[in-house]
Amino acid sequence: MNLSGTLVSAGRRFARPLEIVRGYRRADLPADVASGVTVGLISIPQGIAFAAIAHLPPSAGLYSAVVAGIAGALWGSSRHLVTGPSTAGSILLFSILVPLVPVDSPDFLAAAALMAVFVGLYRIGFGLAGLGALVNIASRAVLLGFTTGIAALIGFGELVNVLRLPLHRSPSFLANLAGVLTDLGQAHLPSAAIGLATIAVVLVLGRIDRRVPGPLMALIAVSAGVAWLGAARLGVETSGEVPRALPELSHFPLEHLAATGVLPQLVVGGLAVALLGLFEAVSIGRVAATAGGERLDVNQELIGQGMANLAAGVFSGYPCSGSFNRTAVNLESGGRTQLASVFAGVFILGAILAFGPYTALLPKPAIAGLLIVAAGSLVDRAGIRRVFRTSQSEGVILVITFLATLLLPLEFAVLSGVILSLGLYIYQSTMPTVVPAVPDEEFRHLVERAGAPACPQLAVMSVRGSLFFGAAQHVEDALLGNLGENPGQNLLLLRLHGVDRCDVAGVEALERVVRAYRDRDGDVFLVRVRMPVQEIFDRSGFSAYLGRDHVLQQEEAIDWLFEERIDPAVCIYECEQRVFAECQALEKHHYDAALPAYVPRDRHPICHLSVEQFEQALRAHRGRAELLDVREPDEFRRGHIPGARLLPLRTIMSEAPGLSRDRPILLVCRSGRRSTRAMHWLLDLGFERVCNLKGGVLSWRARGRPLVVE
């Protein structure tokens, strides 16, 4: 793409908000507003909680939820992805900043905001450069395992809040699980009842009518009930009062941060946070896209995430990403477009300014119950079943990613699944399929079928995969291994329609295969070579080495090989199979056991005559030469050279004593291969003047010479 095209494409991506607003339908407004309010209600306590994880003031989490949620929705691709503070991002940010800046100092908040700016610039750069394909290294199995693991972590964590257990939380899931089992008897019954009631209301309303905003209705009903009964009297915790203040512009002490050496560390750390968020946000976006029946533009989503982080950094926030639980609530609440996230941001801001004191009425167990329902909706049960039914190896990757999400830090969970996926991909890429092909039952198409009866002379092999440096040795070993197992198959027909690319190592591997076959007086032929691969063959010189006439047409290849290269003597006398259509009409006879199966071609001087030379020899030795046709009787009757006597190859050794050693012997067969074999045998027996018609009856007929038909 030229520079002007690149600028136009970038302009369209940054004009995404106009596209969203112009295409908005009024019919979607009620659902988006209801979903936005529900997401906003949940985002307030979560924003405070996530900020606490990062050791930042509550306002940082709330402002991030407002501005990042709005910017991420307007510039992103997904209709349902909600952007804001996240557990993994908060933990990673804290771990990066702790060694650099004193916690609870103004520089700590400034460094967090500046890192959000760097994260935003990185992600915008990724999107403009079209690097969204990087996330494809996380396979479907990895995403399912990670999503299911996150759902389990969210559900388990919120179960603790529902039961209000006195648990000293640990980074270890197993330690937390052991603590829950130990403290289960200390569960707070009113909190548990409120959480379970919230879950029940959401599920019941969802079964009655999916259009009803169940989470919002449940939260309002339960909050009203708790307010009427009295949260303090019940001993139920609420989310707490939110401070009233607008987001302020961030102050970036760049000179101070550069002088203390913090700035370069923020640049590097921002890249790590950007990469983690890249997988996290796009993974969530894809899950939401699948659930919502839409297609995700990954590069546009990266730009949306970049704009969200830029906005968060400028307005006193910190690095953000897609949120699993808030996205799930958005889907569960029936949000239809990106404006649901915008309304959520507006609601959070309005709640901060006008209803801050009233947010203290939201019971924490009710919010936890909503998040448990949302976590359950993240689990793609049908997708998991499909993975286990389809691929055992991907099922293993799914399970390992799920366990890694539970047991390892989140920043390593996706990484572990990605490494496994890459390992599986590399393994599969270096092990292309190399399998024999045989005709189907109607002899119309070649089909890949291992263990099928094989032709003793011709191997037909299909290769599927890339012939690159990592796979070339496997393909070479498979082809030469087949030759070693079937030494008589000195002809190889390679079907390369499944080879999408080839490099120098692949070319050299094919050259070694060709050399091995030609060393055995055989040869290699190709069919169905893709154009990009053919171009590599041409540029590398392999086409010239192989011979351009060795690239055959699929429909004519087998017939041509039967006409030109396959030895009919083997077909008729040695082969018990009828693999190809051309085999079906052949008479099958057996040699006498005394007949040699193979004669080296260089043992005797041989005499191959063209049609003209053969005619001259007949005239020169008229009445004295023995003209012997070594084909079978049916072939002989269908057409033979005038004056020829039938002497099938299978009987020539037993009839040889009756042949005169003083007379020249002229041999003929269908294509010249059986007569060549007869010539070698007679020379071995001491006959000195033996010649063969090169090309046999086929060449005789092609030159317009007469045949006698009986």
pLDDT tens for each residue of 621-630 = 887 889 999 9
Sort 408 into a burial class: Cβ within 10 Å, 0-12 / 13-18 / 19+.
Answer: middle
669 is catalytic: yes
| Residue-level pLDDT at 363 | 81
| Residue-level pLDDT at 410 | 59
| Residue-level pLDDT at 598 | 47
Domain boundaries, the chain: 3-382, 433-570, 608-702
CATH class of 608-702: alpha beta
CA distance 515 to 517: 5
> Residue 458: which of 433, 484, 488, 434 has the closest Cα?
488
| Residue-level pLDDT at 276 | 67
| Residue-level pLDDT at 63 | 92
Residue 327, H or E segment: helix 324-332
CB-CB contact of 609 with 592 (8 Å): no
Sort 121 into a burial class: Cβ within 10 Å, 0-12 / 13-18 / 19+.
Answer: middle
| Residue-level pLDDT at 135 | 66
Q: Which of 575, 607, 669, 691 is catalytic?
A: 669
> Residue 571: which of 593, 588, 585 has the closest Cα?
588
- Write out residues in the chain with pLDDT < 50, as ranges: 593, 598-601
CA distance 500 to 468: 10
CB-CB contact of 495 with 461 (8 Å): yes
CA distance 542 to 461: 19
CA distance 373 to 551: 62
Q: Does domain 433-570 have CATH number 3.40.50.2300?
A: no
Residue 573: DSSP 8-state: I
| Residue-level pLDDT at 621 | 85
CA distance 109 to 670: 91
Kindly give the residue spans of alpha helices, DSSP state H, lying in 54-172: 58-75, 87-97, 106-128, 140-163
- In sign, the C-alpha dihedral spanning 386, 392, 397, 401 is positive
Q: What angle do CA 319, 325, 329 make, to 5 degrees?
A: 125
- The residue written with tokens 């049960």 in the block is 381
Q: How far is CA 124 from CA 86, 306, 703, in A?
A: 19, 5, 73
CB-CB contact of 345 with 320 (8 Å): no
- The residue written with tokens 């100092």 in the block is 105
- In sign, the C-alpha dihedral spanning 364, 367, 372, 373 is positive
CB-CB contact of 19 with 77 (8 Å): no
β-pairing, 433-439 with 446-448?
Answer: antiparallel
| HSE, side-chain direction, 13 A CA sphere, residue 329 | 33
Which residues fall within 8 angstroms of residue 655, CB to CB, at 6 or more apart? Answer: 647
| Residue-level pLDDT at 175 | 74
3-state SS, residue 225:
helix
